[in-house]
Amino acid sequence: MVAQPLMTEQKPAGEAVLDKNWWRGAVIYQIYPRSFQDHNGDGIGDLVGVTERLDYVADLGVDGIWLSPFFTSPMKDFGYDVSNYRDVDPIFGTLGDFDRLVEKAHALKLKVIIDQVISHCSDKHPWFQESRLNRTNDRNDWFVWADPKPDGTPPNNWLSIFGGSAWTWDSRRMQYYMHNFLASQPDLNFHNPDVQDAMLDGMRFWLERGIDGFRLDTVNFYFHSLGLQSNPVVKPEDFNASTAPAVNPYNFQEHLYDKSQPENIAFLRRLRKLMDEYGDKATVGEIGDSQHQLEVMAAYTSGTDKLHMAYTFDYLGGEFSAAHFKKSIELTEAQAPEGWICLAFSNHDVVRHISRWATHGQQEEFTRLAATLLLSMRGSVCLYQGEELGLTEAELAFEDLVDPYGIEFWPQFKGRDGCRTPMVWQTQSQLGGFTTATRAWLPVPADHLTKAVDRQVRDPHSVLSHYRAMLAFRHQHPALIKGTIETLDGPEGVLAFLRQEGTERLYCVFNMSEKAVIVPVPAGFDPAPSGAPGIADEPIEAALSLAPFGAYIGVLR
């Protein structure tokens, strides 16, 4: 695949050059505001707290931040149930606080991406409050309403990801309304052009405030089939639990009719047209579709008239093996040759990748390898807060859970609270320096305190130092940012690929196994000094010995 050329606009002397492709290969640091830094002492993180910690984020060497939702919300799903798309929830602060956050971020050369949750909203949103009154009001079809079957049951077999039917009865209209998630998160009806207009107007509001892009939550959930056909049973050979945990019956259906509908393409074109009005803004879509995710990603990111990039759950739920990664890279390149993937190993919705994958007892070595691999693959990258500290999934008691998803499927699935616990800044503070309150909204695990920022920041051998070194190394090599990728065959347990941009060519090898391996090195490659522990940098003849979870990056002479 040939990387697209850098697009810039010529500006008069003294003005900044507009880089429309800044997002391509960028590294974005995801901030979950509730858990990053509490400024006002109520035990919940806020926007002022985020602003206070932006220097730390900039010092990592990332290119921008992604803020999880901070909009007005009853917080049934912790901000992913929006009741006002144009304001900040008081627990997070004010619009003025947000503006000051953006101002400081930009002063630090950080882009600002914000979450947009537009497939559904809160049942407390005035739009839904009006829509549910009767079948004749001005917003009667802004949501997905359907009559019951003659026996009173829901119109079809669609399921909610959070458990149970995707349909809830409303006695005012004597109809069911659709919700892919909680019953308090009704799905908006994107078949109605007025709904699309309202959502685009809301996004324009934030573009005018100076944000640099949107992360689009559940971007393939906007449209449903107007025929309301029941989904077929998934074939055993196609069973995939990447979108939902294995214990969730949501996986038993092939979701042909409740999401990923062809009408979405036209809306994404409308969205891209809006983004293009502002020159250098970007979109990244979350695609949750176990059976068709690469196909959907290809459709949504091809060309230059839809999403800029998207991410799937290949690396957020799949296995950590050379075979799986090689297959995923090759499928992405084959099925989405014009697209651009956004890579992540952890985020606010999945078990932290160290706990998910490092079950072999070599956690330190694994953590460094995972960082090196993630920052060497082709695509843009999202790092999740605390990942750079080597944080593991928090083990919480049932009584400490607040996530409705985890409460529903406990104990086989413990929900998302374990990856959302507060950031740890200070080892000697009871709550890690996150808050001055006596209690945080989620507990701070004792073992997280030993990995706090103040303990790692001056240690050249710490996980944090490794991330910083790898981010600096990535910025020094255009092939890692925008270059092509070509997988190579290697010994069992070894992932190898070539990255190339212009005349720069890098040979990247990763031992993803628990055993040392001998790996051949093509002629003409010398070690590329990274300054990051765990990457072999000794001179190589024709082969090298890679320790368990070791890596090598060579540059062509």
Residue 415 pLDDT greater than 90, yes or no: yes
Torsion sign (Cα): 96, 286, 74, 33: negative
Nearest to 35 by CA among 346, 284, 348: 348
Provide the pLDDT for residue 514: 94
Under 8 Å between Cβ of 261 and 223: yes
Token look-up 């651009």 returns 340
Give the contacts of 182 (CB within 8 A, at least 6 positions apart). 76, 77, 81, 160, 162, 404
Residue 236 pLDDT greater than 90, yes or no: no
Residue 3 pLDDT greater than 60, yes or no: no
Percentage of the chain lying above the pLDDT 90 cut: 86
Residue type, 483: G
Mean pLDDT value of segment 247-270? 96
Mean pLDDT value of segment 191-214? 98
Provide the pLDDT for residue 12: 47
Mean pLDDT value of segment 453-459? 97
Provide the pLDDT for residue 13: 46
Q: How confident is the model at residue 16 (pLDDT cuts 50, 70, 90)?
A: low
Instruction: Read off the DSSP letter of residue 388.
Output: G
pTM metric for this prediction: 0.95
The structure tokens listed for 155 are 């119109």
Q: 112-134 pLDDT, tens per residue?
A: 999 999 999 999 999 999 999 99
Chain CA centroid to CA 319, Å: 18
Provide the pLDDT for residue 283: 98
Among 94-98, 271-275, 473-477, 553-557, which is the least confidently predicted range? 553-557
Three-state DSSP at 435 gives coil
Give the contacts of 96 (CB within 8 A, at least 6 positions apart). none
The structure tokens listed for 411 are 């104990």
Provide the pLDDT for residue 407: 95
Torsion sign (Cα): 330, 303, 216, 464: positive
Residue 2 pLDDT greater than 70, yes or no: no
Residue 202 pLDDT greater than 90, yes or no: yes
Mean pLDDT value of segment 92-112? 98
Rounded to an integer, what distance in angstroms lies between the CA atom of residue 214 and that of residue 207?
9
Rounded to an integer, what distance in angstroms lies between the CA atom of residue 293 and that of residue 254?
12
Q: How confident is the model at residue 4 (pLDDT cuts 50, 70, 90)?
A: very low
Q: How confident is the model at residue 371 (pLDDT cuts 50, 70, 90)?
A: very high
Q: 27-76 pLDDT, tens per residue?
A: 999 999 999 999 999 999 999 999 999 999 999 999 999 999 999 999 99
Q: 503-535 pLDDT, tens per residue?
A: 999 999 999 999 999 998 888 888 888 888 788
- CA angle at 405 for the pair 399 and 411, rounded to the nearest 5°: 55
Residue 5 pLDDT greater than 80, yes or no: no
- Domains detected in the chain: 21-120+193-472 (3.20.20.80), 484-556 (2.60.40.1180)
Q: How confident is the model at residue 396 (pLDDT cuts 50, 70, 90)?
A: very high
Under 8 Å between Cβ of 37 and 49: yes
Q: Chain-wide mean pLDDT for the chain? A: 94
Rounded to an integer, what distance in angstroms lies between the CA atom of residue 510 and that of residue 526?
16
Rounded to an integer, what distance in angstroms lies between the CA atom of residue 178 and that of residue 167?
5
Mean pLDDT value of segment 327-351? 94
Q: Annotated active-site positions, please?
A: 217, 277
CA dihedral 59, 61, 65, 68 (to 10 degrees): -80
